Amino acid sequence: MPSLVVAVMVTGLWTGTTSISRANELGVGSTKERLEVKGLMLQPEENLSQGASHVMKGEPIAQLFYPPVSDDPTFRVVGRGKASQPADKATLLFKFTPDYPDEMPEGTLSDFETTDEPLNKKNLQPIVDALVKIGVTADEIEVKIIKPSTSALPFPFPSTSSEGGGEVVVTLSQPNRDRLEEIVTAATKAADKQKDILLENVKVQYSVNDCQALERAAYQSAVEDGQNRANSIAAALGTEVKRVPSVAEPFYGIFLPGCNSKGSLPFASKEASAYDPNAPVAVEISKDIFFTYRVR
**What rounded mean pLDDT belongs to the chain?**
74
Does residue 114 carry a pLDDT above 70? no
The reply to whether 251 and 142 lie within a common domain is: no
> What is the per-residue pLDDT across 141-155, written as a single tens digit (0 to 9) for each?
999 998 877 777 777
Coil, strand or helix: which one is 119?
A: coil
In this prediction, residues 72-100 reach a mean pLDDT of 90
The reply to whether 95 and 193 lie within a common domain is: yes
DSSP state of 241: B
Range of the domain at 173: 89-102+115-207
> Within a domain: residue 239?
yes
Between 17 and 233, name the one with better pLDDT: 233
Q: How far apart are CA 118 and CA 254, in angstroms?
A: 38
> Within a domain: residue 278?
no
In this prediction, residues 2-29 reach a mean pLDDT of 39
Distance of CA 164 to the CA centre of its chain: 25
> Within a domain: residue 152?
yes
In this prediction, residues 66-79 reach a mean pLDDT of 71
The reply to whether 158 and 94 lie within a common domain is: yes
The reply to whether 127 and 202 lie within a common domain is: yes
Cα–Cα nearest to 208, from 154, 155, 283: 283
The reply to whether 184 and 94 lie within a common domain is: yes
The reply to whether 171 and 97 lie within a common domain is: yes
Residues 6+ apart with CB under 8 A from 170: 91, 92, 94, 131, 136, 140, 141, 142, 183, 187
Does residue 58 carry a pLDDT above 60? no
The reply to whether 119 and 199 lie within a common domain is: yes
Would you place residue 34 in the very low, low, confident or very high pLDDT band (cuts 50, 70, 90)?
Answer: very low
> Within a domain: residue 169?
yes
Between 160 and 48, name the one with better pLDDT: 160
Beta strands per DSSP E along 14-98: 14-17, 35-37, 40-42, 60-63, 74-86, 89-98
Would you place residue 78 in the very low, low, confident or very high pLDDT band (cuts 50, 70, 90)?
Answer: very high
Cα–Cα nearest to 172, from 232, 131, 130: 131
The reply to whether 134 and 171 lie within a common domain is: yes
> Within a domain: residue 43?
no
Phi, psi at 67, each rounded to 5°: -80, 170
DSSP state of 155: T
Q: How far apart are CA 255 and CA 245, in angstroms?
A: 25
The reply to whether 9 and 74 lie within a common domain is: yes
- Put simply, whether the predicted model's pTM sits higher than 0.75 gets the answer no
Per the rule left: phi > 0, alpha: psi between -120 and 50, beta: everything else, 204 is: beta
In this prediction, residues 31-44 reach a mean pLDDT of 39
* Number of helices (H), then strands (E), in the chain: 5, 15
The reply to whether 93 and 202 lie within a common domain is: yes
Cα–Cα nearest to 189, from 127, 247, 132: 127
Query: Which of 160, 180, 207 is the last residue before a domain boundary?
Result: 207
The listed range with the strongest mean pLDDT (65-74, 148-157, 197-206, 242-251) is 197-206
Q: How far apart are CA 120 and CA 187, in angstroms?
A: 17
Cα–Cα nearest to 170, from 200, 113, 130: 130
Query: Which of 161, 179, 207 is the last residue before a domain boundary?
Result: 207
Residue 240 confidence (pLDDT) = 86
Residue 289 confidence (pLDDT) = 92
Cα–Cα nearest to 89, from 145, 144, 140, 143: 140
38, amino acid identity: K
Cis peptide before 245 (omega within 30 of 0): no
Total domain count, the chain: 2
The reply to whether 195 and 232 lie within a common domain is: no
> Within a domain: residue 273?
no
DSSP state of 243: S
Q: Angle of helix 177-192 relative to helix 121-133, nearest 10 degrees?
A: 140
The reply to whether 245 and 182 lie within a common domain is: no
> Within a domain: residue 176?
yes
Phi, psi at 33, each rounded to 5°: -115, 160
Residue pair 61/16 in contact (Cβ under 8 Å)? The answer is yes
H-run or E-run covering 169: strand 165-173
> Within a domain: residue 62?
yes
The listed range with the strongest mean pLDDT (5-19, 48-62, 156-170, 214-228) is 214-228
CATH number at residue 149: 3.30.70
